[in-house]
Structure 1
């Protein structure tokens, strides 16, 4: 029996022909081990996504992908802009526009610094000194707020603003306090304004409009 098996084994060719090789391969691939090695649906999707992004950043764009790439680029731009809004907030100009409608020393005030200066000059021309002083001091505060030097939150007093502004402009500290006192005199104490007091406030406003602050960080007048 052993001799017969050896004879048969020796008679079997070591190199199969084409049909026999295909038959052997089919039998081998029926083994469950090969089924588990097949890529899953997730594997195929992941490979497709990877090929897509590889083609997206490839210098050679496949034919017919032009519109698709344009759509992808537009979506990426929108996502980046939305992320910028979430991380850094709205642009500074919008913040300033919203601040311009806020309370300013007890009154709602939407005018810009230049508009307040013009209104103060008109009041001074008509010798309405109380109004001119109040408007010019508001112009001073609004100007520093627009420049991002001193913010004036609702409830801040003129003297709190003057102290905050003095930290940014130390050389003008005394003049700022005098201008704040002039505002208080005509606004709350009902003392009559004068051309001299208006000139004092206007002088401080003009001086700080041309000056550079001592520090880079904006200061806030405490409420």
Structure 2
């Protein structure tokens, strides 16, 4: 039996698929098949043609593979960012400082947007504690997680932090409207937390006495 080359095999396969007995190939499958055939042709050219053609084919293959890798990395990074901004988390995608969250809260409060003002004020508290290294900068942190961790560093504020987290959850997920009273309580807590110092751990230099 006489051997056939790649082109003849592809032609025969195409003729076979054109017969009425075959179902129409899905567009995605067809595109993938053409891509595989294209890469296969390039590989054949790189290994079977002259030096110049082989170099050009190798460059094209490298560019294609690099493009695919870049696309996969981009998708993974996008997915990672979306996961970091968890639905129950305090923060969105944009990173803001404590001062920026505080200013945003004050602007919202001035307009009477108490719900969003409360949210921004707790974000200011969370970011301020992160900037002072009193809590870890954990992506997707919830208000309850913030209160629990901050309450360990500042036990004197544990109850107020829990109440602040509950207030945030009520207006964010509980569909309860924010109020001036709730915002002022959050604002007062923020100001006092800014002046607070953590309780030193036992045995640490801050906890030792002279």
TM-score range relative to shorter protein: 0.5 to 0.7
Q: Partner residue of 1:112?
A: 97
CA RMSD, 1 decimal? 1.7
Q: Are 1:186 and 2:171 an aligned pair?
A: yes
Q: Partner residue of 2:184?
A: 199
Where relative contact order (Cα < 8 A, 6+ residues apart) is larger, the structure is 1
Runs of 4+ in 1 over 6 A off after TM superposition: none
**Within 5 Å, which residues of 2 pair with 1:1-223?**
103=85, 105=90, 107-215=92-200
Shift of 1:215: 3.2
Unpaired segments of 5 or more residues in structure 2? 1-83, 205-210
Shift of 1:109: 3.4
1:39-78 CA distances to partner (integer Å, 9 max, x unpaired)? xxxxxxxxxxxxxxxxxxxxxxxxxxxxxxxxxxxxxxxx
Question: How does the TM-score come out when normalised to structure 1?
Answer: 0.49
Give the SS at the match of 1:136: helix
Distance in 2 separating the partners of 1:150 and 1:215: 14
Distance in 2 separating the partners of 1:156 and 1:164: 10
1:89-110 CA distances to partner (integer Å, 9 max, x unpaired)? xxxxxxxxxxxxx745252231
* Contact 1:152 1:161 (C-alpha < 8 Å) held by counterparts: no
Distance in 1 separating the partners of 2:108 and 2:194: 21
* Contact 1:166 1:173 (C-alpha < 8 Å) held by counterparts: yes
Shift of 1:214: 1.1
Distance in 2 separating the partners of 1:176 and 1:187: 16
Q: Matched residue pairs, number?
A: 116
Question: How does the TM-score come out when normalised to structure 2?
Answer: 0.52
Shift of 1:152: 3.6
Unpaired segments of 5 or more residues in structure 1? 1-101, 218-223
